[in-house]
Amino acid sequence: MSLHRLASVTMGVPDPAAVGDYYRDFGLTETSPGRFATTDGGEQLTIVRAPARRLNALRIEVDDPDDLGRAARSLRDMEIPVDHHDEDRLEAVERVTGLRVTLKVAPRREVAPAPAPLYNGPGRIDRPDVRAAAVERTERVRPRKLGHVVIGSPDEDASRRFFSDGLGLKLSDRVPGLASFLRCSVDHHNVLVQAAPTTFLHHTAWEVDDVDEVGRGATAMLEQDPGRHVWGLGRHHIGSNFFWYLKDPAGNFSEYYSDLDEIVQDQLWSPETIEGARGLYNWGPPPPPSFLKPEDLAAHMAGTHST
């Protein structure tokens, strides 16, 4: 795949300072005012002031200028304006959501693999005579990278076509009439377009090493503020990843996740159409109503968000 990474997102919120404090607690490193980095991905989150919470922009990295040219031709065939196109980057706006997307030529990043945890099981002793390393961990959980972002769109099909037919993201799976899971890397999904009555940012997802890091990260966040809890611990069916969702002060959800499906050979993966609750999760507590319909959704629709 010539597209190879979800590089960064820009999030607009009414109170950037409070939201910045949250993402510092979440384990991101503030590199400069309003800019936050992961351990492997560099600067991947920018927080700016906006009247209401929203996803302002995202950046995807590609291999070379030819990839930009192909995307430019596809967008123009779809009668979608290209705001900028040179040898280094391409910019266009998804018309339904108003999201500005940049494709940027950049080298692929080498990532050090996480150590494989040793698990004991019936008839299988992989970890003899010692405690599990996970229970001895005391260091702060720090996300390795930004994995995916989920946006609500009043026209899910049009938004999906912008990303897939226009920019070249691959479809991994679909929930008919509800969601499209799209990838610009080997990760199962990097952009999830969700049918919604209005445009909003549902959540960003941040990869950690394993399920113990998911649990440790969420536990530390909830020790500081139990009101941050949204949903978890559980395991999704689509994508297969472990998850725990929390909520930032603006109302955006943030997800710690691990063990996502990886699609290395496109021809070996067949996108599925998955119906019902099975598409949402495989096991765990049922999702709260606010996960499916955020509490401030009516304010988004009415344009009455407080600043």
Rounded Cα–Cα distance for residues 52 and 39 (Å) = 29
DSSP-assigned letter for residue 262: B
What the block records as the tokens of 33 is 């005012």
Is pLDDT at 306 greater than 50 in this prediction? no
Q: Domain map of the chain by residue range?
A: 3-108+144-302
> Tens digits of per-residue pLDDT, 181-218?
999 999 999 999 999 999 999 999 999 999 999 999 99
Q: Which CATH number fits domain 3-108+144-302: 3.40.640.10, 3.10.180.10, 1.10.150.120, 1.10.287.130?
A: 3.10.180.10
Rounded Cα–Cα distance for residues 298 and 208 (Å) = 33
pTM here is 0.96
Rounded Cα–Cα distance for residues 143 and 206 (Å) = 6
Tell me the CB-side half-sphere exposure of residue 202, using CA atoms within 13 A: 21
Q: How confident is the model at residue 251 (pLDDT cuts 50, 70, 90)?
A: very high
Bridge partners of 103?
A: 60, 90
> Tens digits of per-residue pLDDT, 221-244?
999 999 999 999 999 999 999 999
- Do residues 215 and 257 lie in contact, with contact meaning Cβ atoms separated by under 8 Å? no
- Do residues 3 and 44 lie in contact, with contact meaning Cβ atoms separated by under 8 Å? no
